Amino acid sequence: MRLRHALASFALLIAVWQAVVWLAGLPHFILPSPLRVFTELWDSRALIGEHALVTLGEVLLGMAIGTVLGIATALHLALSPRARQLLGPILVFSQAIPVFALAPVLTLWLGYGLWSKIAMAVLIIYFPVTSSFLDGLLNTPQGYLDLARAMQARPGQVLLRIRIPAALPNLGTGLKLAAVYAPIGAVIGEWVGASRGLGYLMLLANGRAKTDLMFAAVLALCAMSVVLYLLFDALSRHLAARATGG
């Protein structure tokens, strides 16, 4: 059922896209038709695939590092009220800084290579993972905690066997958000300075007026984001099932 709904939504999007092209009478170098873009996507599949693998590597490394840092930060904040008072506002304030403003700085510090793009992905991923997991850790059902207190469980046991398992669904939600946002961070980093990746390919195609190729690269990025979301959605449901003993 979910696949059918997704396909119907995609078909509707393509129909609206084609209708805009027809009704507005736009030239293909302004807005190419879906057929032109899909044709370009197939004809340039090797080129797009090569750059997509670079972006995917940046995203996956950023996801891994951002998730580990986010989980570690959430655990520290959950165990230390003073740390929450001191670091909580800083985390919130960090989200007010536009990522576009940070991209040139990270490129200056880390160079035009892989790590500046990974750092951008980490910055975007870090907050939703930290915030979601921390919210789960701080909102453990009171009945579980009362039972642990009655059984005289030690704080470490409460954390490992009750609070963390109960917070797994929240962690899954944060990971789903991170999976959608991570490619954005990597592409922004590639826009600022890169010689490979889908972001670089978009700029290259735009500079050469190859609008079909630019849209094809955007579609490839969208497909990557959707696949990552579906994978982490499955992981989220698995974590939720574990939390409920399913």
Instruction: Report the residue count for the chain.
Output: 246
Mean pLDDT of the chain: 87
For residue 217, give both structure tokens: 């690269």
pLDDT above 70 covers what percent of the chain?
Answer: 97
**Segment among 71-80, 95-104, 155-164, 199-208 with least mean pLDDT:** 95-104
Question: Could you report the per-residue pLDDT of 7-52, keeping only the tens digit for each?
Answer: 788 889 889 999 998 988 888 888 899 999 999 999 999 999 999 9
Q: Alpha-carbon distance 60 to 69, whole Å?
A: 14
Q: Max CA-CA distance within the chain?
A: 74
State the average pLDDT over residues 213-231: 92
Confidence of residue 3 (pLDDT cuts 50, 70, 90): low
Q: CB neighbours (10 Å) of residue 35?
A: 11
**Exposed e or buried b for every residue in 114-148, given b needs 16+ CB within 10 A?**
bbbbbbbbbbbbbbbbbbbbbbbbeebeeeeeeeb
Q: Alpha-carbon distance 33 to 39, whole Å?
A: 10
Is residue 1 scored above 80 in pLDDT?
no
Q: 38-44: long-range contacts (C-beta < 8 A, 24 or more apart)?
A: 38/216, 38/219, 39/212, 40/212, 40/213, 40/215, 40/216, 41/216, 41/219, 41/220, 44/213, 44/216
Confidence of residue 244 (pLDDT cuts 50, 70, 90): low
Q: Alpha-carbon distance 31 to 17, whole Å?
A: 9
Give the closest residue to 140 by CA, choosing from 126, 153, 128.
Answer: 153
- The pLDDT of residue 210 is 92
Match 């750059």 to its residue by tokens.
51
Q: What are phi and psi of 42, to 5 degrees?
A: -75, -45
Give the closest residue to 172 by CA, choosing from 228, 132, 127, 226.
Answer: 132
Is residue 153 scored above 60 in pLDDT?
yes
Q: What are phi and psi of 100, to 5 degrees?
A: -60, -30
Contact assessment for residue 189 and residue 120, using Cβ atoms and an 8 Å cutoff: yes
Is residue 55 scored above 90 in pLDDT?
yes
- The pLDDT of residue 187 is 92
Would you say domain 43-243 falls under CATH 1.10.3720.10?
A: yes
Hey, which of 26-35, 41-50, 133-142, 223-232 has the most confident mean pLDDT? 41-50
Domain ranges of the chain: 43-243
- The pLDDT of residue 245 is 61
With left for phi above 0 and alpha for psi between -120 and 50, is residue 26 left, alpha or beta? beta
Contact assessment for residue 121 and residue 186, using Cβ atoms and an 8 Å cutoff: yes
State the average pLDDT over residues 223-234: 89
In terms of pLDDT, which residue wins out, 98 or 186? 186
